[in-house]
Amino acid sequence: MKNFKFLLPFFILLFVYPQTTSLLEPTLFKHEKLLGVWTFESMTTIRNAKRQEITILYKDKKNIETLQFETSGAIKYDVLNDGIEKNGNGIWFADDSHLTIIVESDTTYGTFSIDENILTLVVNAEETDKLYGYSTIIKYIRKY
């Protein structure tokens, strides 16, 4: 009986401690780092033609883009591409490092990584009978 009285508080502590520590530590999912406003820096497209073609586009006065990922799952975008303005809303969701963005009838599937304040999106397309496959790497900097 003495052993039981001694072990009972030990077992209670053993079961309670892990529960209290998990309450103290906020859970941060990788995709929560996406939240906020991001500005376009560069886009590299590698097209797998007969001969691999690489195209790099940098931010300039004619190519500006801002993405805003919201906690609700909404995404807002403002784009100036070769002087043509386009803005709107869509939805986004992420699972681990995979990101899906849906805007109107377009759906973009890709992967993302965030290193310090740089967001890198990678979108791959497989080759079809009509189109060559490609990989696009887009970099954004966190605005706020």
**Residue 113, domain member (yes or no):** yes
Contact 87, 78 (CB under 8 A): yes
The whole-number pLDDT of residue 119 equals 97
Q: Assign residue 143 a region (left: φ > 0; alpha: ψ between -120 and 50; beta: otherwise).
A: alpha
The whole-number pLDDT of residue 2 equals 54
Digit-coded pLDDT (tens) for 57-86: 999 999 999 999 999 999 999 999 888 999
Residue predicted with more confidence, 7 or 56? 56
The whole-number pLDDT of residue 27 equals 52
**Residue 14, domain member (yes or no):** no
Residues paired with 112 in a beta bridge: 121
Q: What is the mean pLDDT of the chain?
A: 86
* Cα 138 to Cα 60: distance, rounded to the nearest angstrom: 15
Q: The domain spanning residue 62 has which CATH number?
A: 2.40.128.20
| Total domains in the fold of the chain | 1
**Residue 24, domain member (yes or no):** no
Instruction: Give residue 44's domain range.
Output: 30-142
Model's pTM, two decimal places? Answer: 0.75
Output the six-digit token pair for 20.
């209290």
